[in-house]
Structure 1
Amino acid sequence: MRDGVEITSRKSGDFDWLGIAGEVDMHASPQVRKALLDALQPKSALLVDLSAVRYMDSSGVACLVEAFQTARKQGSRFALVAVAQPVLNVLRLARLDKVFTLYASLDEALAGGG
């Protein structure tokens, strides 16, 4: 786990999946930002699994917001999956839980069309 964060990705027919684990802070956020933006493809869906994120600061939240805005501009779908409680608390505090599409599980996301 480099910089306190580990990122894995997987491609499927209908969506791309990005899993983030560890702590997303100002040291790890450049790596997370690059992974998010690299994973975004026009007219596709990106599901970001945050179930293993133990901590996220404002720089991590900014990465998610930038990826969300980029996805909207290119006509892609962007959703957060299985958001860990510490991250969900931060998103709620910033009222971003009302902005992002949130799914409790990957199965729910797939049923919801990514």
Structure 2
Amino acid sequence: MTTEPDLPTAAANHVSAMLTLAKQKHEEAMAMIGIPDANAIPRLRQVLQLLDEVELLAEDAGSYVENDAMVGALKELQQQQASIKLAIERLEKLSKRSPWASPWPWIVAMATLMLVIVSFVTPSPS
């Protein structure tokens, strides 16, 4: 590995392009974390996939340039990945425990409620 001033121009441009792409993907992943939705698991899996891509780009760039900032950034990225994996695991456990996490109990409950309402509203034959 070399230090940044020793890199040929083409290699420096390559590293710069990889880091720029990594930064864009990381920003996209971080923006997705704060989006509220009913089922966060697929979104968090997509965030994790983006972070995995960022890691590959950063490791590739790090193979050209060795410095403490790059090492620190990779460690921070790996901590973010671990946090996302933990969040996915927790959400999966919660959804498996609760029968109401699936739409089917809600559909059955609504259908039953509609039947009860219809039975009270409908006049009985005399």
Asked if TM exceeds 0.5, the reply is no
More helix by share: 2
More strand by share: 1
Q: State TM-score, norm by structure 1.
A: 0.33
Q: Which has the larger radius of gyration?
A: 2
